Amino acid sequence: MDKKSHSNNPDSSHSPSERAGERNELYPIFLKLHQLDVLIVGGGNVGLEKLSFMLKSSPNANVEVVAPKFLPQLEALVEKHPSVKLTQSKFKKKMLKKRHLVIACTDNLEVNKRVYDLCRKRHLICNIADTPPLCDYYLGGIVTKGNVKIAISTNGKSPTTAKRLREFFEEIIPDDINQMVENLNEYRKTLKGNFQEKVDKMNEITQALKGKQ
C-alpha cells in the first residue's frame, strides 16, 4: 500500500492555523524586574495601565516613569511602591542609559517613535503602546497562583482574547496548586540518581496532572 501514515505527515503536529502560516513565534520569558532597570515614558492613562499591569505581577519592579505630568491615580499607585520613581520631565535620550527594558506610551507619536529608534541603536528592547510594528515584546495576559504563573499571548492580535483566557485559567486552576508545587519541590530534593532518573521520576509523579492514572 502506498498510503502515508498520519505520523509521517510533516504538518501533522501543527494546528490548521499553523499550517496556514498563522503561528505565534514569540519566545516567552519570565523577567526578574526587581533586578532590572525599567523605563516607562508617559504618565497618562496608558502609562498607568502599563505600570499597574507590571506591578500586579512584579510588585517590587525597579521602574522609573518619565513625563511632564502624571495622572493623580498614577501618583497614588507609585506611593505604594518604593521601587518606582517618578521623574517630571520631557523625555531625553540620556534617560535610556543603563536601562534593560523600555515602554513608551505618550500621546505623541513622534516622541514614541524617537524612543523606539534610540532603543534600537542601543540594543534595548522596547514596547511602543498600541503600535505592534514598533514592539520588540508584548505585555500579555498573566495568571498567577502562588508560585505558578502562566503568560498568555495572542501575538499582538487580540488583547481581549488574552483577557478572556486569563479569566478562564484563573477559574479552572485550583487555589491549592501552590501547595502541590511546594510539596513536589520538597520531594524533588529527596530524589537520588542522575539527572535523567530524577526527570523520569518527577514525570511519573506528575502524570496525574494530565488526567492519567
**Which pLDDT tens digit goes with each residue over 119-165?**
999 999 999 998 989 999 988 888 888 888 888 988 878 878 888 89
Q: Provide the pLDDT for residue 13.
A: 52
Cell numbers 526527570 correspond to 199
Q: What is the pLDDT of residue 207?
A: 77
**Spatial CA neighbour of 60 closest among 28, 77, 82:** 82
pLDDT given at position 6: 44
What local confidence, expressed as pLDDT, does residue 208 receive?
A: 66
**131 residue type, one letter:** T
Tell me which residue of 71, 65, 97 sits closest to 83, measured CA to CA. 65
pLDDT reported for residue 3: 43
Any idea which residue has 503536529 for its cell? Answer: 13
Q: CA–CA separation, 51 vs 13, rounded Å?
A: 38
Angle, vertex CA 164, rays to CA 159 and CA 169, nearest 5: 120
Cα distance between residue 77 and residue 55, in whole Å: 9
CA–CA distance, 52 with 71 (Å, rounded to integer): 13
CA distance 178 to 185: 11
Residue 49's pLDDT is 95
Cα separation, 51 vs 57, whole angstroms = 10
Collect the ranges in the chain with pLDDT lower than 50.
Answer: 1-8, 10-12, 17, 19, 212-213
Q: Name the pTM for this structure.
A: 0.76
